[in-house]
Amino acid sequence: MRFIAFLFLNSLIFSLSSQSIFVPEINNLLNPALKPFYFGVASGDPQQTQVIIWTKVWNETSQPVTVKWEIATDTTMQQITATGEVTTDVASAYTVKLIAKNLQPNTTYFYRFTTCGVFSAIGRTKTAPLQADELKFAVVSCNNYEHGYFNAYRLIASRSDIDAVIHLGDYIYEYGANKSKKHPSIRQHIPDHEILNLQDYRSRYAQYRLDKDLQEAHRLHPFITEWDDHEFANDAYKEGAKNHQPEEGDWVTREAIAKKVYFEWLPITDNAENTVIRKLNYGNLAELFMLDGRVEGRCKQVESPSDTMLTCVTRTMLGKKQSDWLTSGIYNSTAQWKVVANQVVFSELDAHQLSKKYAINPDAWDGYPEERREILDSFYQHKTQNIIILTGDIHLSWAFDLVQNPKDKNRYNAKTGKGVIGAEFVVPSVSSNGLGEKFPRGLAKLIGSIIKRKSTNPHLHFQNLVDHGYVLLCLNKERAKATWLFCKTLKKRTEKYSTKDSRMTKYNENHLVKN
């Protein structure tokens, strides 16, 4: 079925070759000074000797385009270390994506593209180290265009000390434009309807990538990305999504379109399976495991905590192949910190004091407890420590001790770290609505105080349910530290922010403490 969808998609691409790749409204967002590289440049998936570099050409014909690229060690592009030419065409919507090879480890490079005598902006990127004393990652998720300006990316772009940006998913949102007059959006989606076909998905990515702050963050830092559900449709799983109805067409075709367009727009390593599952090595200090908790092996979500299928051992989020890859990879890793880029909250979270009906989030790992138990059992069996889980999706900020059965006092002690094997840092949304938009700020904080009760969630050490921004993850030989940086507002473009809090776990001590 998926192969048939692939063939159909390819025939669709070439049948549309003489038509516009994007909806006409995208033209109104273009900056003429950037033509034909309106969408800027980007880099990603850095390794010790190579990195992906990316751009997209605006072509008003359906003919192939030849693009020259070059990479240098200086900002004026005089010390060229590699160069070449590639041809792009309508099949990829004129995407240019290639691997710049034979680079030096832990080195900053600059790159650009040219076609028809016109140069792109100059991008900056950095290769991974063989050995490192310190690493810094900006960790982000959930940038909804309608909900506000991408000030977190503006802040990230202003930094020069970041090794890479880790994006945990929900890079775009598939929803149509919000038509509510009572709760108007700050910005409107293009196209104004829910995205379903190839042109729709390409146009939505085009709109997001024309945002000045997101574009600048891509230009100045390599990105390491994975998808969540909104790159497809809300609450996606292997065979469908909550936000996909039969009248909207075949799910397999929609999923294939979403995957194809994701790989067109993101500086991620191309592969035959269009999978985001991969490892990236940062030498002695960190190994990064990128997961697909959405469309690779996820079973459909249960409807409620009382659903008898909740604890069925055959229900998975990752699927056995990916789960085995993760546990064996972490067990065999020689890096000091094993960092897992994970879409939804992994730790147990008891919310029964707020609502019995919503005592757990069935879309998070609480909805797949048996697979989580098996993964944790493997970690404990192999005495694995220093695991850092990075999580997005929920639009809230949390820090958990990574522990199995946190309410079992015989197995877990928050003060001594007994039973703890790492930490989970949950990052805020870049802009997507959180509790601060759904409830008055005071009520949102009251909800947080109930969730954070020691009798309910003793392993929860930090939370912020109302602010937006990003997490700065700093790793060195002594500790892994997460600092939450929150934007002052999303209603206008600004660089104002506040650093509310940080938590860290010391090497081989694991449990969270304040800095």
Q: How many domains does the chain have?
A: 2
* CA 17/CA 13 separation, integer angstroms: 6
Q: Which of 125, 155, 190 is the last residue of a domain?
A: 125
Secondary structure (DSSP) of 455-506? TT-TTEEEEESS--EEEEEEEESSEEEEEEEEES-SSS----EEEEEEEEEE
Q: What is the mean predicted confidence (pLDDT) over 231-251?
A: 97
With a CB cutoff of 8 Å and minimum separation 6, the contacts of 246 are: none
Does 4 have pLDDT greater than 70?
no
Examine the domain organization and report whether 174 and 134 are in the same domain. yes
Position 93 in a domain:
yes
Q: What is the mean predicted confidence (pLDDT) over 200-223?
A: 98
Q: Is residue 338 a contact partner of residue 285, using CB atoms and an 8 Å limit?
A: no
Q: Which of 100, 125, 150 is the last residue of a domain?
A: 125
* CA 42/CA 180 separation, integer angstroms: 35
Q: What is the mean predicted confidence (pLDDT) over 438-462?
A: 93
Examine the domain organization and report whether 152 and 116 are in the same domain. no
Examine the domain organization and report whether 116 and 158 are in the same domain. no
Position 21 in a domain:
no
- Coil vs helix vs strand at 81: strand
CATH of the domain at 144: 3.60.21.70
Q: What is the mean predicted confidence (pLDDT) over 336-354?
A: 96
* CA 193/CA 71 separation, integer angstroms: 40
Where b means 16+ CB within 10 Å and e means fewer, 150-169 reads bbbbbbbbeeeebbbbbbbb
* CA 384/CA 331 separation, integer angstroms: 7
Position 365 in a domain:
yes
Among 13-27, 173-187, 298-312, 485-499, which is the least confidently predicted range? 13-27
Q: Which of 78, 110, 125 is the last residue of a domain?
A: 125
Secondary structure (DSSP) of 254-314? HHHHHHHHHHHHS-----TT----EEEEETTTEEEEE---SSSSPPPPPSSTT-TTTT-TT
Examine the domain organization and report whether 182 and 77 are in the same domain. no
Does 369 have pLDDT greater than 60?
yes
CATH of the domain at 80: 2.60.40.380
Backbone angles phi, psi at 282, to 5 degrees: -115, 50
pLDDT band at 78 (very low <50, low <70, confident <90, very high): very high
Examine the domain organization and report whether 342 and 418 are in the same domain. yes
Q: Tell me the per-residue pLDDT of 388-413, one tens digit each, with 9 for 90 and over.
A: 999 999 999 999 999 999 999 999 99
Q: Tell me the per-residue pLDDT of 111-148, one tens digit each, with 9 for 90 and over.
A: 999 999 999 999 999 999 999 999 999 999 999 999 99
Examine the domain organization and report whether 301 and 285 are in the same domain. yes
pTM for the structure as a whole: 0.96
Considering only CA atoms, which of 230, 220, 246 is closest in space to residue 195? 230
pLDDT of res. 15: 44
53: which 2 tokens?
């570099």
Please indicate whether residue 458 or residue 181 has the higher confidence score (pLDDT). Answer: 458
Examine the domain organization and report whether 199 and 105 are in the same domain. no
Examine the domain organization and report whether 90 and 197 are in the same domain. no
Position 297 in a domain:
yes
Examine the domain organization and report whether 146 and 105 are in the same domain. no
Residue with token string 């909207």: 248
Average confidence score pLDDT of the chain = 95
Q: Which helix (H) or strand (E) holds 87?
A: strand 80-88
Q: Is residue 94 a contact partner of residue 36, using CB atoms and an 8 Å limit?
A: no
pLDDT of res. 19: 47
Examine the domain organization and report whether 303 and 364 are in the same domain. yes
Position 1 in a domain:
no
Range of the domain at 91: 31-125
pLDDT of res. 14: 44
Does 5 have pLDDT greater than 80?
no
Q: What is the mean predicted confidence (pLDDT) over 280-300?
A: 98
Whether residue 191 is preceded by a cis peptide bond, meaning omega within 30 degrees of 0, is: yes
Position 22 in a domain:
no
Length of the chain: 515
- Coil vs helix vs strand at 436: helix
pLDDT of res. 9: 54
Position 19 in a domain:
no
* CA 470/CA 499 separation, integer angstroms: 10
Examine the domain organization and report whether 329 and 217 are in the same domain. yes
pLDDT band at 356 (very low <50, low <70, confident <90, very high): confident
Position 4 in a domain:
no
Examine the domain organization and report whether 420 and 498 are in the same domain. yes
Cβ count within 10 A of residue 494: 14
Identity of the residue numbered 382: H
Does 184 have pLDDT greater than 90?
yes
